[in-house]
Amino acid sequence: MVLRSFRLGEADRVLHVYTADRGRVGAVAKGVRRTKSRFGARLEPLSHVELMLHQGSGELQTVTGADLRASHHEAREDPYRLAVGLIGAEAMLKLFTEQEANERAFTALTRFLDRLDVIPPAGSRPAVDPLVLSFQLKLLWLSGYMPHLDSCVECGAADGLVGYLPSAGGAVCRDCGNGAITLSPDGLHGIRTLVATPLADAHDAQLSDRGARDALALVTASYEHHGGFRLRTLTA
Ligand SMILES: [Zn+2]
């Protein structure tokens, strides 16, 4: 899956791809900007390709062949879907940096991009799209960063959870809520639903506006606290 690509010199392109068998790989495709490139448009971000790679002496592998599996042009050609897709791609880039296979992460990415082709194209704010919120929560879970939301992480109370405390890695009750990010009942319910729902059903999860905003706040706080990063696509 091509997550990102950028120009290198006059004719080449650097690709950051997430592969099924080797995890994150960096590669260079030579001559892609020439009009008669043998790669054509197959190396666009969000496309699913089968790549032939040559491992040279450098850090980047060289693309020697590319077969399109799914172009995802429906996702790329609509501005809203593209924005949603690029948030998911950046989350993947930031959370899964190892050159090591992670079958579940690869499968989640595949399902995210398949679904992206068919979500309603006219959403208002890509950052709170249920599909990309659900995808990021699943990536947090696969990374071991998913906050504990079943009970207060400080005292164990199961009821009256009102906030999320990133430093403690989970939800807190009113008594323990000092310094916590507010988590509304809608937010708590929405986050639990998005975690438990398959990506294909995220848009049917009946997420309220408040629930979506709280889910986004929890995702960004988890990134900052555990990974020390922010997503450029979320702050733009
Ligand atoms: Zn408590």
Other CB atoms within 10 A of residue 138 CB: 24
Question: pLDDT tens, 153-207?
Answer: 999 999 999 999 988 889 999 999 888 999 999 999 999 999 999 999 999 988 9
Distance between CA 81 and CA 75 in Å, rounded?
Answer: 5
| 72: its two tokens | 């995802």
Whether 90 has a pLDDT exceeding 70, the answer reads yes
Question: pLDDT tens, 17-70?
Answer: 999 999 999 999 988 766 566 676 788 999 999 999 998 888 899 999 999 999
Mean pLDDT of the chain: 92
Query: Could you give the C-alpha distances from 148 to 104, 120, 141, 152, 153, in angstroms and in order?
Result: 20, 31, 10, 8, 7
C-alpha 146 to ligand 1 mean position (Å): 19
- Output helix, strand, coil percentages for the chain, rounded to the nearest 5: 40, 20, 35
| 163: its two tokens | 């906030």
C-alpha 196 to ligand 1 mean position (Å): 24
- Give the pLDDT score at 178: 86
Quickly count helices (H) and strands (E) in the chain: 7, 8
C-alpha 42 to ligand 1 mean position (Å): 52
pTM beyond 0.75: the answer is: yes
C-alpha 152 to ligand 1 mean position (Å): 5
C-alpha 179 to ligand 1 mean position (Å): 13
C-alpha 150 to ligand 1 mean position (Å): 12
C-alpha 174 to ligand 1 mean position (Å): 7
C-alpha 182 to ligand 1 mean position (Å): 14
C-alpha 192 to ligand 1 mean position (Å): 19
